[in-house]
Amino acid sequence: MLPWFDNNWRPLYLAPMAGVTDSVFRRLCKEQGADVCVTEFVSADGILHRNLRTREMLNFRAEERPVGVQLFGADPKHMADAAKAVIDWVAPDFIDLNFGCPVNKVVCKHGGAALLRDCPLLERVALAVVKAVEPLPVTAKIRLGWSQEMINATTTAMALEQAGISAVAVHGRTREQGYSGVADWQAIARVAETVSIPVVGNGDLRGVDEILLRLRSTRVRGLMIGRAAMTSPWLFRQARRFLDHGEMVPDPSIEERWSHILCHCRMAVAETGTEKHAMAAMRGRLMAYSKGMPGGRSLRAELQQVSSIAQVEAISRRHLAWFNSENVAEEGLVFEGPESFSNSISSAPGRVGEASHFASS
């Protein structure tokens, strides 16, 4: 039912991340080689109440396909009705059910990972949605369990399979862990060995080496990349090239990184229609992109204040000039380290927010 698993294909998913994986970011990741995308999670109640913001979060473009819409909620009928409404509105390739979000505001409404403590209800939710939208495939995302004392990913996956779920993504941490600690890939492997539906592994996939290790050492049928994509969306391209052709693709140059960052900014402004609002929302994304870049700490100090594309362009020019200077070239700075860039900022004639500086840059 999910053609991207045909012929032993190992798809690379872009993980759904609230406030991150909007349509613009999904398109950028697809260009970089992501095989499957999932929207930011949306509330079933928000859909049924026809909340405008929720409706906007469902929008996607043809080039994002295959794309799924992820729903959260705990009422089987509400979830089923919301799924049918989503299909009528945007016709996604699949519906995805969020049973893994650890955030308090979701859990306190008995959504997300809260259902890992109530597997009978979780199964009823899954079954209701599957029946409501068939033959459209329904997938689910779970965690290992609520806590270390309540690890139940295997039994949860079995229940989901019984309910008609077509594939399950497993994040290798408990709800109690949140995003701390280390993902338990042995536990993910046990789930993949137990159920017959495809299992997609998720957690701590930061580079091509880790991706290859997990595909070779477990029976997962695909991988889901989350936080690493925020910093390095080109990881999809690197992993896909190695999996398909056995070739290692080098990391992008600093110039290529800045080109990508500016492209993201311009696309975000075009999508939103208001530069100030779009750039305020982009600050978190800019913080993520700066990680691992030389002079990253000073870059973040500048980027967290931007409100226009012109300011980002000016920062990029100054950063590239500093990076390509003889002093930096000799030091061979390729990762965050000595903050010499901060000196170039402090000696510049202006700072972010001062029009005179950017007018003369």
Q: Are residues 97 and 76 in the same domain?
A: yes
The total number of structural domains in the chain stands at: 2
Q: Would you name the residues annotated as active-site residues?
A: 101
175, 103 contact by CB (below 8 A): no
Other CB atoms closer than 10 Å to residue 246's CB: what's the count? Answer: 7
As a residue count, the chain comes to 361
Two tokens, residue 76: 């089987």
**105: domain CATH number?**
3.20.20.70
Two tokens, residue 287: 């913080």
Two tokens, residue 326: 């003889």
Tokens 């396909």, residue?
65
Which structural domain, as residue segments, surrounds residue 231? 3-245
Q: Are residues 14 and 127 in the same domain?
A: yes
Q: Are residues 170 and 78 in the same domain?
A: yes
Q: Are residues 203 and 300 in the same domain?
A: no
Q: Are residues 177 and 273 in the same domain?
A: no
* C-alpha torsion sign, points 292, 295, 297, 299: negative
Q: Which of 84, 160, 155, 152 is nearest to 125 (CA)?
A: 160
Backbone torsions φ then ψ of 72, nearest 5 degrees: -135, 150
Between CA 26 and CA 27, with CA 170 as vertex, the angle to 5 degrees is 5
Two tokens, residue 98: 């969020």
Q: Give the end of a domain, one of 215, 245, 275.
A: 245
Q: Which of 153, 136, 179, 189 is nearest to 17 (CA)?
A: 179
pLDDT tens across the length of the chain (361 residues)? 799 999 999 999 999 999 999 999 999 999 999 999 999 999 999 999 887 888 889 999 999 999 999 999 999 999 999 999 999 999 999 999 999 999 988 998 889 999 999 999 999 999 999 999 999 999 999 999 999 999 999 999 999 999 999 999 999 999 999 999 999 999 999 999 999 999 999 999 999 999 999 999 999 999 999 999 999 999 999 999 999 999 999 999 999 999 999 999 999 999 999 999 999 999 999 999 999 899 888 899 999 999 999 999 999 999 999 998 845 555 554 444 444 555 555 444 444 443 322 222 2
